[in-house]
Structure 1
Amino acid sequence: MALPYVNPDAPKGGRVVTGNTGGFDSVNPFVQKGTPPWQLRYLTHESLLYRSQDEPFTLYGLLAESVEVPEDRSWVEFTLRPEARFSDGSPVTVEDVIWSLETLGTQGNARYLTFWTQVDAIEQTGPRSLRITFRDPDRELPLIAGLRPILKKAQWQGKTFAEATLEEAPIGTAPYVIESFEASRNVVLKRNPDYWGKDLPIRRGTNNFDEIRIEFYGDTNVLFEAFKAGEISYLREFNAEKWARDYDFPAMQDGRVLQSEFADGTPSGITGFVFNTRRPPFDDIRVRDALIHAFNFEFINETMTGSRQPRITSYFSGSDLGMQPGPADPAVAALLEPFKDEIPEEALTGYALPVADGSARNRGNLRKAMALLKDAGFTIERGRMMRPDGTPFTFEILLRQGSTEQISIIDLYRDALSRLGIGVKVSTVDDAQYELRQVDFDFDMTHIRRAFSLSPGNEQRLYWGSEAADLPGSRNLMGVKSPAIDGMIDAMLAASDETAFRDAVRALDRLLTTGRYVIPIQRFDKSMIAHDAALHHPERIPIYGDSVYFLPEVWWMDK
């Protein structure tokens, strides 16, 4: 037995090298402090349950051998596998699990804090079992509990977990362990030959490389040149124009490098530039609407991708969970109706992003933007846009150093804003400053990317829930506080059947999209991976497509 999208007979061995841009100053992905390589959470630590990449709602036992829940899911009980071990050979205990959940929920990264507030009690019920009781009904909470990373309590005795130093890599249970690292240069992971779970059916055919090396580069251009030179094994490309134009180098011509494309069935998610509504004038929807009209997507997309990539039209577009064109259907409208006096009218009547004529001038949409700004009390004086208080309308866009594509998009956008008399400062900062400023919400506008599964849940509270809006480090970058959005998330989590769940997500999608919190850009309707010809993947592609659970997890290398 094995997962249906793996090759159960994949050979073990080989070294794969991947590349990140920027740097890192931490190898602890579970605390707020520092910037770790994003892959570590997935490669070095495990949870009680494992999410199948081919089934929207299905989890399998990993550290836990069994799970018990009542009909209302008001509690969950896990029983640990007796063979579960940390990478140092010590057993995973109930005490480790309880400590991990509590510590992450009180001292960990902001993404872990909300779950802990919903735990009423947690107690050991047997030598290898524990029960978690929840405060309020929420059908997803047992699943979230099962997906929390498990850490070793003894490692942190006498230490403050939240203040872990760079030298203190958390001990995990996963197939890979950190062998060495040089801050902001590379991390080397080795496959643990004594990995406790290598004979589990869900692990068969996975984690096949003996070594995974993560190299860091200054920006995407340098990363691409490193790939062309054979310094890294694979590269994910996010620009369809570059995919078609720039991959005709010698290693590709002689077959040493291949291009592979992978479709998936997931929602588009949201990628673009987010407004910080905590700051005026972005707390005014008319101003946000004006700046969305000024964003000439058709021209920018032609310039950047040759119009090869479609635009994101809503947060869950490209899936059955996305808002439908035109007025809300009766079930969705019924969910939105109690909030009709506080939500954009278009959430009920229908909404579509403004479309430009494709020219560089975008005159029609700029006229609409000017009218919206005038309606919001803005005026033009000597060619400059003035706020209602008489000060010039200027704002800052915060970007990560090395994000060359985002910078190019903003350069084109800034030209349009200057024609409206709006002044824009673009600040590109290093990873440490970027993370710190996002933690403190110290920006007017910045880049955002949120990927969604086919089973969105409590993470939506962290993304746009009111309680997370002012929590430092939360992922609610836009700072939205909306009882209607909170209500749709509640309805989604309380849904007892697929239809009710879909309607709640569609209603949520309408509120997020019509709220004009983000300027959406192009979507990635397929994954594009260029890779060493010695790397292979299974023929069947899972419904979630390319992810860290696909590459590197289920790929392998010729011996």
Structure 2
Amino acid sequence: MLFLASLLLAYLVLCGSSRDAFAEEESGGTVSTVQGLALYGEPALSEDFTHFPYVNPQAPKGGSLARAAIGSFDSTNPFIIRGTPATGLTQIYDTLMETNPDEPFSQYGLLAKGVRLDPKRRWMEFDLNSEARFHDGKPVTAQDVVFSFEILRDKGQPFYAAYYADVTAVKALNKKTVRFEFAESNSRELPLILGQLPILPRHYWQERDFSATTLDKLLGSGPYRIAEVQPGRRIVYQRVEDYWGKDLPVKQGRHNIDRLIFDYYRDQTVALEAFKAGNLDFRLETSARQWATAYDFPAAKEGFVKKLEVPDGQPAGMQAYVINLRRDKFQDVRVREALNLAFDFPWLNKKLFYDAYERTHSFFENSEMAAQGLPSEAELELLEPYRDQLPERVFTEPLPIEHPEELRPRLAEALNLLQEAGYVVRNGKMVNTETGEPLSLEVLLYDTQFERVVQPLLRNLSRLGIDGKIRVVDVNQYLNRLRKFDFDMIVGGFPQSNNPGNEQREFWTSAYAHQPQSRNLIGLENPVVDELVEKLIRADSREELDTAAHALDRVLRHGFYVIPQWHLAATRIALWDLYGYPQPHPEYNLDLEAWWVDPERAREIRPRQRGD
């Protein structure tokens, strides 16, 4: 989800491209030029594949798709810390390689027509497609690749530095070949991460300040360009008719819709009404209550609007109330566990969610990477060296952690933990026995839709004498506070892929605990976690990866750094029924780029949608 999935490297599959002068290196022989990289083994598609198997290569072009974005925006540069970027900006950029959503993780050539990887994984090279062009007609060169890597690493958002930490050098060998050199103990995912590098035009940015916000229609080489910018209100992308890559196998049957429109709304309630009125075509529904009750309006009853639930082939990850360890009051693990005990998921699921969700326990929920039971022998090998730095319960208590299901005994247990942590109830308030300071917390939100979900937690906390409040702010203020880690608690997420890797550094490690806009929302500084993350990143097999994930998951869960919420192993979509899409959907990721407007249905439905 979020942006750049976690990746892992595997072996390469020979595609038959000719070897060049750069293919013989210190590895002791010829390194084959290939078109694809895969997770453990070979990519599923042969060297002569013509399109991804799930797409419709004859899909018609044309039409538009309008959807909502929430809040506002003040920048068209999505790569930097400053500003609030508009939604959808990655559409204007090409990457070196393209991910196949129908495989666990495989990439195939996009800007790069071929790639070579040293068998010892000390270097790799990309050969660029000689046809690749930016929207102004200038060719994409190896210098553009070098420029993009360096400026994203040095001036981009913090996760780029985490992703590229093991790259020791990058250089253009000629106009169309670029070489990356790696640290001796680099992560196995690194070559695939580099395959997802967005390539920016060096000539465009040379005279511009990359770190400053802008509302310019930025230059890219991708299938769409920015057509319209109404700051804070709307951004529109237009399909590039003469897009250089439209005939590539990874692009056949994709990018079919002419105009992609993102209209901004203050909150989800207003956006839902806009969808029902026909002002929006497509909606990702995140509310179980709305999904169950809000789609009985006339157009839906008449069959003009339909609902889809698309299965999700990725781990559910962790959506949670995130506790900010930068606040002294949350440093004691007993306080954090007490907050966890006050969360009553069964009540929420029954009363508010129509029993639509399952409780989340693991940071790798809905996958084989979720820790279960007591540590296995393989896990113990990883954890034993840190026994004196970890709670004994990591080794002795099985997962998921057992607590009473009924709320009353849970609150009694929470009260005992708070008393052990040095708190006592005075005049109905939970106060610190040493300082006399009341224990209170504020949940920071930007969407009023979540207030009804937070209120039950705050009611339960009030029964313990903890004063809880909700603060709802606009999106820009929310993001500014997030950048500065100025919150007690937020609703946050830690998305995961089937192949977690370098991004885990930014989620959990000490180096990112105080780096503005990092995704270490917790403020976690734990040397054991730091080392377990590195073991996961450098795992040499699927088995090693799963074991490292189990160990990391176990330590994080026993730290009670978040209050886990819930998950649904599907994506809920409501749409005006004028679109065609792959059936079945790709197994591992939803690919909206493979959708198209059905001309016949559009002729029937558009007048009804407009109220004609």
Following the alignment from structure 1 to structure 2, what is the Cα–Cα distance between the partners of residues 270 and 511?
15
Q: Aligned partners of 1:12, 1:344: CA distance in 2, in Å? A: 59
Matched residue of 1:436: which SS? helix
Residues 81 and 355 of structure 1, relative CA distance in 2, 3 Å threshold:
same
Matches within 5 A, 1:256-335: 256-324=304-372, 326-335=373-382
State whether structure 2 residue 505 is matched by structure 1 residue 461: yes
2:435 paired residue number = 389
CA distance in 2, matches of 1:239, 1:16: 22
Q: Please list every run of 5 or more consecutive structure 2 residues that lacks an aligned counterpart in the other structure.
A: 1-49, 600-612
Q: CA deviation at 1:116?
A: 4.2
Give the whole-Å Cα distance in 2 for the aligned partners of 1:355 and 1:298. Answer: 13
CA distance in 1 between counterparts of 2:544 and 2:197 reads 27
Q: Secondary structure at the match of 1:201?
A: coil
Contact 1:125 1:131 in 2 (8 A): yes
Of all paired residues, the percent bearing the same amino acid is 39
Q: Which secondary structure state, in structure 1, belongs to the residue aligned with residue 238 of structure 2? A: strand
Q: Corresponding residue for 1:555?
A: 595
1:99 corresponds to which residue? 147
For 2:532, the equivalent position in structure 1 comes to: 488
The more displaced of 137-146 and 97-106 is 137-146
CA contact (8 A) 2:356 2:568 kept: no
Cα deviation digits, residues 143-192 of structure 1 (max 9, x gap):
11221211111112232210132x23431111111101111111111000
Asked if 1:113 is matched to 2:161, the reply is yes
1:355 deviates by: 5.3
Counterpart residue number, 1:511? 555
Report the TM-score, using the length of structure 1 for normalisation.
0.95
Q: Find the counterpart in structure 2 of residue 24 from structure 1.
A: 73
Whole-angstrom CA distance in 1 between matches of 2:483 and 2:541: 36
- Give the conservation status (yes or no) of the 8 Å contact 1:72–1:137: no
Contact 1:264–1:542 under 8 Å retained in 2: no
**Is contact 2:318-2:365 (8 Å) kept?**
no
Shift of 1:346: 3.5
C-alpha distance in 2 between matches for 1:403 and 1:480: 28
> 2:62: which partner in 1?
13
Deviates more, 1:238-247 or 1:4-13: 238-247
Match for residue 338 of structure 1 among 360, 385, 392: 385
Q: For the structure 1 residues 119 and 418, does the alpha-carbon distance in structure 2 shift closer, same or farther, using more than 3 Å as the test?
A: same
Counterpart amino acid of residue 138 in structure 1: S
Contact between 1:207 and 1:554, CA under 8 Å: does it hold in 2?
yes
| TM-score, scaled relative to structure 2 | 0.87
Give per-residue Cα distances to partners, 1:41-99, cap 9 Å, x unaligned: 2x121211111112223111111111111122122111111111112221111111101
* Cα offset, 1:555, TM superposition: 0.8
Contact 1:118/1:134 (<8 A) preserved: yes
Counterparts of 1:353-432 in structure 2, within 5 Å, are 353=401, 357=405, 362-387=407-432, 388-400=434-446, 402-404=447-449, 406-432=450-476
Higher radius of gyration, 1 or 2: 2
CA distances 1:447-488 after superposition (whole Å, capped 9, x unpaired): 111221111110111111221111111000001112222222
CA distance in structure 2 between the partners assigned to 1:354 and 1:225 by the alignment: 42
Deviation of 1:38 after TM superposition, in Å, equals 3.5
The match for 2:568 is 524
CA contact (8 A) 1:28 1:169 kept: no
The equivalent residue for 1:347 is 394
State the shift of 1:6 in Å.
1.4
Task: Give aligned pairs, total.
Answer: 547
TM-aligned CA deviation for residue 354 of structure 1: 5.5
Which runs of 5 or more residues in structure 1 are unaligned?
Answer: none
| Alpha-carbon separation, structure 1, partners of 2:294 and 2:165 | 49
- Note the C-alpha offset of 1:443: 0.9
Distance 2:460 2:144 in 1: 55
- Counterpart of 2:290 in structure 1 is 242
Answer whether contact 2:285 2:574 (CA < 8 A) is retained: yes
1:365: how far off?
Answer: 0.8
Partners of 2:92 and 2:510 in 1: CA distance:
32
Q: Deviations over 1:377-423 (max 9, x none)?
A: 111111100024211111221111x341x221111111111111111
Distance 1:346 1:435 in 2: 36
- Aligned amino acid, residue 457 of structure 2: Y
Instruction: State the shift of 1:434 in Å.
Output: 0.9
Matched with 2:36 is none
Q: What is the rounded CA distance, in whole Å, between the counterparts of 2:448 and 2:580 in structure 1?
A: 29
- Tell me if the contact between 2:513 and 2:521 (Cα under 8 Å) persists in the aligned partners: yes
Secondary structure at 2:86's aligned position in 1? coil
Q: For residues 425 and 318 of structure 1, what CA distance do their matches in structure 2 show?
A: 32
